[in-house]
Structure 1
Amino acid sequence: MQRVASLIHLPAARSLNLTGKGIGIAVFDTGIGRHPDLTLQDSRLKAFVDTVNHRPDFYDDNGHGTHITGIIAGNGNASRKRYEGIAPDSHFVMIKILNQKGEGNIEDVLSGIRWLLAHYRQYNIRIVNISVGSSRGRHFDENSPLVRGVEALWEEGLVVLTAAGNHGPSPHSIGAPGNSRKIITVGASDVMQTGNGRDYSGRGPTESCIKKPDIVAPGSNIISCQPMHTYSARLYGSSYDSMSTGRLYQSRSGTSMSTPVVSGCIALLLQQRPYLSNREVKFQLKKTAVDLGYDHSRQGWGLIRLDRLLYL
């Protein structure tokens, strides 16, 4: 996370004492596990909804959701702030829509959307992070229930972000619901910035010729929170950082990781300017992004930079 902080100029936000306090984020994912950076002591987890197994207590049987939430809101306590998230004082609700293998179905997603539409005011939710999606957007056009569902959240005034997917670099490779013209679609910037690694980030335009992605952020080798004894850790193995953190952190890559970077940045922006609408937030992201010199289908409007976003 220190590398990410440098690339997006996070210290600029910290100099203004912006930590996301008072801003709520809804995370649609695999759940959330116990972790000292997220759920212990003064827990900022305000609600847990399980549309998959309908269990009442929070858990994460995969690990992906805990990792995503750590990027947004981890307080870094277990790593002496080394792996602190972007908005460490924000609060969150977790809506589990994916199973142990990280797979899901449309009805579980729509069930989670219906719950959030009924409860977002109760928890002061301003941002929705959806680091999941279909393999290709053409299977879910703009009128599909999935896309209409996430757009219903947008029409309620929520800032909705979703991943561009990892099926690049071919054109039209952005999955749904990232093919929505309304919500914010996030790609990964790493290969464009370093020239190294696999260029996996989903590319636009969509099958309906909508210009996507909207913005890019770092997404490769991101170290964030990892719950113990998860299915994914057992099945796939984990590249844990073991210098001082044991098995509390794990490195993962993908546009799934890029999306919460931007969600965390928006939490800081909304703490600074809580009056902004979701459309104004999207406009500010585009206006202040840094052009990396690539086609729009690859980088959108560019790399998110907090010093520019916060008008420093």
Structure 2
Amino acid sequence: MATETGKRGPHVEGDNKEFSISERLARTTAPAQLDDPVQRRKWGLPGVDEPDHTGSYVIELNVQNAGGLPGAENAFLTLYDEVVEQRRTPAQDRRSRKDPRDHPPLRIAKSYYKCMLRDHEWKALVRMDESRPVRERAIYRLWPDFPVNTLTTRSVATIKGDAALRSFNASGESIVWAVVDSGVDASHKHFGRPGNTGRHTLYAPEVANLHRCFADISEERAGLMVALPPLEDPDAGAGMDADARDKLVAQHRSWALRDDYGHGTHVAGVIAGQAPRPEDGDTVFALEREFRVNEDGKKARRNFVQREYTDHEPRPTGVAPMCKLISLRVLDENGKGRASQVIQALEYIRDHINDNPKLMRVHGVNLSVGYEFDPEMFACGQSPLCTAVDRLVQQGVVVVTAAGNTGYGTNAADVGASKMGLSNSINDPGNAAAAITVGSTHRDAPHTYGVSYFSSKGPTGDGRLKPDLVAPGERITSCAAGHKLREAIAGSGIEASADTTFYVDDSGTSMAAPHVSGAIAAFLSIRREFIGKPLEVKRIFLESATPLGRDRYFEGHGLVDLMRAIQLI
């Protein structure tokens, strides 16, 4: 039986006329799926009828090269110049110069380059490289640059965050977490007021100059969105003029602390910050989705219902309200990005922020972005993105990832289609062995309702237990910004004003992961001896989780429990 994408019914082993298992597992530099038109569309690559259009690829260098990694790097750049650069026609050169995103090979990590290549160009690169002995080859593997997508009031109590704050003052003080997402809207008052930078979640001195934008950016001109060139890297070289670097840092901060889509701001609000207090004079609204059946009883329409917080009820708060956040923007205004951009963000933390082993400036990372894992393409947990996650954990940083929202689909058997839960559906980078991978459960009644139907389920493609934990991910109330705020306001009919702060509910494992990020930030703020020991932290949270009585490949070790984690030590 197969899922909808496969369209295969029951079969006898070996009846596949296209590839035998041996052929599927054979070592290849470029995956066979790059010739599949359906997969190419899924990965955002040009069709076979678009020979002059470039697609985004990631080149993994061959570390078995006789010259080691430097030798492979030099060989690849020479090969690229000979096979691609020198063979491009004048028309192709003009097209490349007009597109600000069509750039030369970009080094995104020590052994990875991002390249914009036409179909015949990557094939020529691979063909030429494979003609050499293995010890002379530059390329180990060519990967599609996978598109990555976006995968709290009562929910904080569900994981006992409020109890930990009252009993142990586990507030996240002096802990810094990176949010790799669509940006964070720093103007939202949940993160503080602009004039009070010392206590601001995003503008505090320890994080103010660390925000970076790796996403594709664009701006509106004459009613049209126009693509802009990638921002220059302020960390590229030691010889950069100080004033020039300050200007670049300010540009990155400006783009990273805006969120036209709204996903990153919602995620960030679950981790840290808190709503304005009644004495601040702000009106706080929660805009909550609801579906109403039309008068004919046949069709439900969605709208948003506004709910104003009174002065006497708890207002939204992050799990670790005093934690400071760094925005590393990897998604554009439509919530789309590439795996290479996420890798760049992780390498930035590894090589530039936490470059001094005696001074850890970022303690954890939240990744509520990812893409579906294809077990026929590569070994589970060994993709460039999963490798980058594991490398960062080895350096001492906790990495929390969303399991994905692909745990439910259509089974297309010969006897008829039916909807069902899907095992082996953990998304990358959730397949990374060292990551803490989080599935979703109900926001305030997890023991009753169990694991969310959409939450991706284990085991991993190579048989490991995932997810590791579950946390609230259904109808989570957090900061509203960008597209999500505009959609909610339009659906509610409310008018926005300067003294109004908006929150909106959203669902997904994207909302579950930041509950765990916030819980760990709160834990580290009072159990500081575990800073820099992410595998120990993972063990503590897995051992202290509360089982929900569901299958282990649905719930992992159970519901994250901050109080039990603190008391386990």
Q: TM-score, normalised by structure 1?
A: 0.91
Aligned to 2:80: none
Amino acid at match of 1:51: F
Residue 282 of structure 2 is aligned to residue 130 of structure 1? no
Alpha-carbon deviations, 1:117-171, whole Å to 9, x = none? 1233377211110011102353563221111111111111100010000111310
Check conservation: 1:289, 1:304, Cα contact below 8 A. yes
Check conservation: 1:137, 1:206, Cα contact below 8 A. no
Q: CA deviation at 1:232?
A: 4.0
Distance 1:107 1:17, change over 3 A: same
More deviation, 41-50/117-126: 117-126
Aligned partner of residue 540 in structure 2, secondary structure = helix
Q: CA deviation at 1:74?
A: 1.9
Check conservation: 2:450, 2:550, Cα contact below 8 A. no
Distance 1:192 1:203, change over 3 A: farther
Residue 441 of structure 2 is aligned to residue 170 of structure 1? no
Q: How does 1:265-276 map to 2 (within 5 A)?
A: 265-276=519-530
Aligned to 2:326: 93
Pick the aligned partner of 2:547 from 261, 286, 291: 291
Distance 1:239 1:308, change over 3 A: farther
Distance 1:8 1:146, change over 3 A: same
Aligned to 2:507: 253
Distance 1:274 1:197, change over 3 A: closer
State the identity as a percent: 34
More deviation, 30-39/46-55: 46-55
Amino acid at match of 1:6: A
Q: How does 1:83-122 map to 2 (within 5 A)?
A: 83-121=316-354
Aligned to 1:19: 171
Check conservation: 2:184, 2:265, Cα contact below 8 A. yes
Q: Which has the larger share of strand?
A: 2
Distance in 1 between residues matched to 2:486 and 2:550, nearest whole Å: 38
Larger Rg computed on CA atoms: 2
Check conservation: 2:267, 2:478, Cα contact below 8 A. yes
More deviation, 187-196/174-183: 187-196
Amino acid at match of 1:7: T
More deviation, 47-56/198-207: 47-56
Instruction: Answer 1 or 2: higher relative contact order, Cα 8 Å, separation at least 6.
Output: 1
Check conservation: 1:9, 1:306, Cα contact below 8 A. yes
Alpha-carbon RMSD across the aligned residues, in angstroms, is 2.5
Aligned to 2:191: 38
Aligned to 1:179: 431
Q: CA deviation at 1:37?
A: 1.3
Check conservation: 2:451, 2:555, Cα contact below 8 A. no
More deviation, 248-257/2-11: 2-11
Aligned partner of residue 4 in structure 1, secondary structure = helix
Residue 221 of structure 2 is aligned to residue 49 of structure 1? no
Aligned to 2:459: 205
Check conservation: 1:160, 1:184, Cα contact below 8 A. yes
Distance in 2 between residues matched to 1:251 and 1:87, nearest whole Å: 19
Aligned partner of residue 453 in structure 2, secondary structure = coil
Aligned partner of residue 37 in structure 1, secondary structure = helix
Check conservation: 1:48, 1:94, Cα contact below 8 A. yes
Alpha-carbon deviations, 1:159-207, whole Å to 9, x = none? 0010000111310111001011111100012285343896110000011
Residue 170 of structure 2 is aligned to residue 9 of structure 1? no
Amino acid at match of 1:4: S
Distance 1:202 1:50, change over 3 A: same
Alpha-carbon deviations, 1:204-248, whole Å to 9, x = none? 001111110000011111110112xx23444687877x8x99562
Check conservation: 2:400, 2:436, Cα contact below 8 A. yes
Q: Mind listing any 5+ residue stretches in structure 1 that lack a counterpart?
A: none
Amino acid at match of 2:201: R
Q: CA deviation at 1:10?
A: 2.0
Distance in 1 between residues matched to 2:491 and 2:364, nearest whole Å: 30
Q: Mind listing any 5+ residue stretches in structure 2 that lack a counterpart?
A: 1-151, 218-230, 232-250, 277-281, 285-310, 408-420
More deviation, 139-148/55-64: 139-148
Aligned partner of residue 125 in structure 1, secondary structure = coil
Q: TM-score, normalised by structure 2?
A: 0.51
Distance in 2 between residues matched to 1:216 and 1:154, nearest whole Å: 20
Aligned to 1:153: 392
Amino acid at match of 2:525: Q
